[in-house]
Amino acid sequence: MDWTDEGIVLAARRHGESSLVLSMLTRGHGRHAGLVRGGGGRRARALYEPGNRVRATWKARLSEHLGNFTCELVSADTARILDDPARLAALASACALAEAALPEREPHPGAFDGMEALMRALPGPGFAADYVRWELALLTELGFGLDLKSCAATGTGENLGYVSPKSGRAVCEAAAAPYRDRLLPLPRFLMSNAPPAPEELMAGLRLTGHFLAEHAFAMRPAGIPGARARLVERLARAARAG
């Protein structure tokens, strides 16, 4: 039992004195774990930073075994944001969500492409908005995508300003008027490439956070990984600071 694939490191946990249990998102084999012998050493550990892209070979006697990884570095994407706590928090949140939400050993090439695109976007000025869009794409990949193209009540694609917290469908301003206190605001930047105002960014995080909690992590006892809450708090402090 063996294969070779491109992967993005999601987590690396110590195992014994010098090994790691590596969790990665691969293009063709989905989220997959394996043992890296000697991966916990000082020299090797930098290879397995979350966010790095590697060329991984997995081998095991039987398909159901944990198996062993051997990896070669393709791109040390994490190194580009090491000096920026906010971008590192976004990376940590994305890796934690992907590891906890995606089913193990089930191919999700769309999720891999989305994570790869996020890694390219993180060094840029609009990383926070790209992160929110990535959460929307993750919900879609998991089968919980939102319908933001037309109003659930009227069918129009104009003046969409809210989302139903139950159906995940957009609602136009006119139809939403009597129920605004029960709906989630739909920030405009999710409908275009316009840069968001700080309050729009936080509204986007509340929107995706609601559906992550209600659907993607509803059956997980621990709920949404704490890395996401830490990212939200960091971005909220930045928004309050102006």
Predicted structure pTM score = 0.94
Average confidence (pLDDT) over 106-128: 96
For the segment 142-154, the average pLDDT, to the nearest whole number, is 96
pLDDT value at position 194?
86
Rounded mean pLDDT, 211-230: 95
What integer is the mean pLDDT of 177-185? 96
Please list the alpha-helical segments (H only) found in 69-183.
85-101, 109-121, 127-141, 173-176
**14 pLDDT above the threshold of 80:** yes
- In this prediction, residue 43 carries a pLDDT of 77
Mean pLDDT, the chain, as a whole number? 95
For 105: left if phi > 0, alpha if psi spans -120 to 50, otherwise beta; the answer is left
Q: Give the Cβ contact number of residue 233 at 10 Å.
A: 11
Give yes or no for residue 144 having a pLDDT over 90. Answer: yes
Answer whether 35's CB lies under 8 Å from 113's CB.
no
| Interval 52-56 mean pLDDT | 97
Which amino acid type is present at position 73? L
Q: What does the alpha-carbon distance between residue 21 and residue 12 come to, in Å, rounded to a whole number?
A: 6
Average pLDDT for residues 142-167, to the nearest whole number? 96
Binned at pLDDT 50, 70 and 90, residue 42 comes out as confident
First to last CA, the chain: 54
Instruction: Return the pLDDT at 1.
Output: 83
Quote the CA–CA distance of 118 and 127 in Å, as a whole number: 8
Share of the chain above pLDDT 70, in %: 100
With 80 as the cut, is the pLDDT of residue 234 above it?
yes
pLDDT for the residue numbered 241? 87
For the residues 51-80, what does the mean pLDDT come to?
94
Establish how many alpha carbons lie within 13 A of residue 156's alpha carbon, considering only the half-sphere containing its beta carbon: 12
As a whole number, mean pLDDT of residues 180-204 equals 94
Which domains, from first to last, does the chain contain?
Answer: 2-75 (2.40.50.140), 81-148+186-241 (no CATH)
- 242 has pLDDT over 80: no
